[in-house]
Amino acid sequence: MDDISKRSLKMTRKYNASAELLWKVLITPEYIGEWWGPHGFTNTIHKMDVREGGKWEFIMHGPDGTDYENEYVYSTIIPFKKIVLDHLKTPKFSIVISIHEEGEQTTVEWCNIFDSIPTKEEAVRAFKADVGLEQNLQRLADHLNKPEKV
Predicted pLDDT of residue 139: 97
**From first to last of its 150 residues, what are the pLDDT tens digits of the chain?**
578 999 999 999 999 999 999 999 999 999 999 999 999 999 999 999 999 999 999 999 999 999 999 999 999 999 999 999 999 999 999 999 999 999 999 999 999 999 999 999 999 999 999 999 999 999 999 999 987 755
Does residue 66 lie within any of the structural domains?
yes
Domain-located, residue 74:
yes
**Residue 150 falls within a domain, yes or no?**
no
Q: Is 29 exposed, middle or buried (0-12, 13-18, 19+ CB in 10 A)?
A: middle
Q: What pLDDT, on a 0 to 100 scale, did the predictor assign at position 45?
A: 98
CATH number at residue 111: 3.30.530.20
The pLDDT of residue 147 is: 78
Least Cα distance to 132 among 14, 36, 45, 8 occurs for 36
Q: How many domains does the chain have?
A: 1
Q: Domain limits at 98?
A: 4-145
CB-based burial of residue 53 (10 Å sphere; 0-12 exposed, 13-18 middle, 19+ buried)? exposed
Would residue 41 count as lying in a domain? yes
